[in-house]
Amino acid sequence: MSFSICVAQCTDSLASSMDDQARIMQSIGGVSLSGHSVQGGMALPPPHGHDGSDGDGRKQDIGDILHQIMTITDQSLDEAQAKNRKHGLNCHRMKPALFSVLCEIKEKTGLSIRGSQEEDPPDPQLMRLDNMLLAEGVAGPEKGGGSAASAAAAAAAGGAADSSIEHSDYRAKLTQIRQIYHTELEKYEQACNEFTTHVMNLLREQSRTRPISPKEIERMVGIIHRKFSSIQMQLKQSTCEAVMILRSRFLDARRKRRNFSKQATEILNEYFYSHLSNPYPSEEAKEELAKKCSITVSQGVGSTITVSQVSNWFGNKRIRYKKNIGKFQEEANLYAAKTAVNAAHAVAAAVQNSQANSPTTPNSGGYPAPCYQSDGRIQ
DNA sequence: CACGATGATTAACC
DNA sequence: GGTTAATCATCGTG
């Protein structure tokens, strides 16, 4: 109907005047304000068929006013030149009459707001995105909370999350994403507000020459907001994607593999070679080892070692030892000697004149233990 | 950069 | 569920 055409054209002209937000505006410009689709640029149908009782002069007047309305709305609105015309229009002697006619037409055509789609149920997709962004620390509080949240997320996802160098790198990248996200979001919000106030002013202005209920304006605002939030959703989506990529790059355990510290390896090797007959530590033993390695490591630079890492280590060690015993003989001798010395010390401390016949693990049925001779050569 | 070492993952197995 | 064996992906080094 003509009302929607008027406003739609206004919004179009408004859109073209705000070139920096052209993309956003464009997607909104196509929205019919009354909920009807609008064929843009369509000429206003002549106001005929209402009453034939008027004289030619009166018809002429109404025609003039309508023409003025059209020309005003066709132009950009912030022009001072339009002011004069608008003023002239408002003071036109036929204005009240036309206004009431417009009201009547509006009523008849049922354009007054249908209370449709008042409540829009929260989009599950949007909620998912929101939750994820919140969990990743992208959305939500700026500094402290954000990093804490991201750390928590990392800990939750990575299991063995270490707080070392590459983690801070990850955080830096995450902060970068967050900044971009927030500036973009702010931009959209600002554009949305600007556009909304613009349209509201426009409608308010127009409500002097044609009937526009506050509810209609409200509805219009709702439509604009929905449009903008769909744009925001795109932003959120791409932000989520970026975070996911970042996460897979940095938090994938395989990618962030760090070698264990020398001390940790030493502890594990000590256990392995001193239990060569049965190098299968129990759950408790693994925990013990993990704790020991972590404690040793915590004094230097490194990460804590978990039970599952200990399991991995023993799994790898067993298979690699078995595969190539010769390669490990040197190492085996080293640790055998070490445990022997340790044991000797222990024994010496306990029994002073003990001759320390090294009580190395007796080996029965396990992996072949290296037997080394006095010259250090393997037999 | 090539290459071996090494931690992590996976499928198959018991 | 834990192990083995194979494999992947990265690290450290020459």
CATH architecture of structural domain A262-352: Orthogonal Bundle (1.10)
pLDDT in tens, A142-195: 644 444 444 444 444 433 334 444 555 666 677 778 888 889 989 998 998 998
CA distance A320 to A270: 16
Indicate yes or no: strand C within 7 A of the C-beta of A258. Answer: yes
Q: What is the DSSP letter of A282?
A: -
Confidence of residue A322 (pLDDT cuts 50, 70, 90): very high
Question: What is the domain partition of chain A in residue ranges?
Answer: 124-140+165-255, 262-352
What DSSP assignment string belongs to A297-351? HHTSS-----HHHHHHHHHHHHHHHHHTHHHHHHHHHHHHHHHHHHHHHHHHHHS
Name the residue closest to C3, CA to C1'.
Answer: A315
Phi first, then psi: give them for residue A54, nearest 5 degrees.
-75, 155
Nucleic strand C contacts from chain A, 262-281, CB < 7 Å: 280
Check whether residue A327 has its CB closer than 7 Å to nucleic acid strand B: yes
Quote the CA–CA distance of A278 and A29 in Å, as a whole number: 76
- Give distance CA A322 / C1' B11 (Å): 20
If one compares A5 and A91, the residue with the highest pLDDT of the two is: A91
Measure A300 CA to C2 C1' (Å).
32
Could you read off the pLDDT of A18-70 as tens digits, one per residue? 443 344 334 333 333 333 433 333 344 444 444 444 556 666 777 776 677 66
Q: Could you please report the per-residue DSSP string of A220-238? A: HHHHHHHHHHHHHHHHHHH
Closest-approach nucleotide to residue A283, Cα vs C1': C2
With CA of A159 and C1' of each nucleotide, the nearest comes out as: B8
Residue A337 in contact with residue A374, Cβ under 8 Å? no
Give me A373's structure tokens.
């001779």
Measured over the CA atoms of residue A333, residue A335, residue A338 and residue A339, the dihedral's sign is negative
| CB A193, CB A26: distance < 8 Å | no
pLDDT digits (tens, 9 = 90+) for A187-205: 998 998 998 998 888 888 8
**Residue whose Cα is closest to the C1' of C2:** A311
Strand C nucleotides within a 7 Å radius of protein CB atoms = 2-12
Report pTM. Answer: 0.46
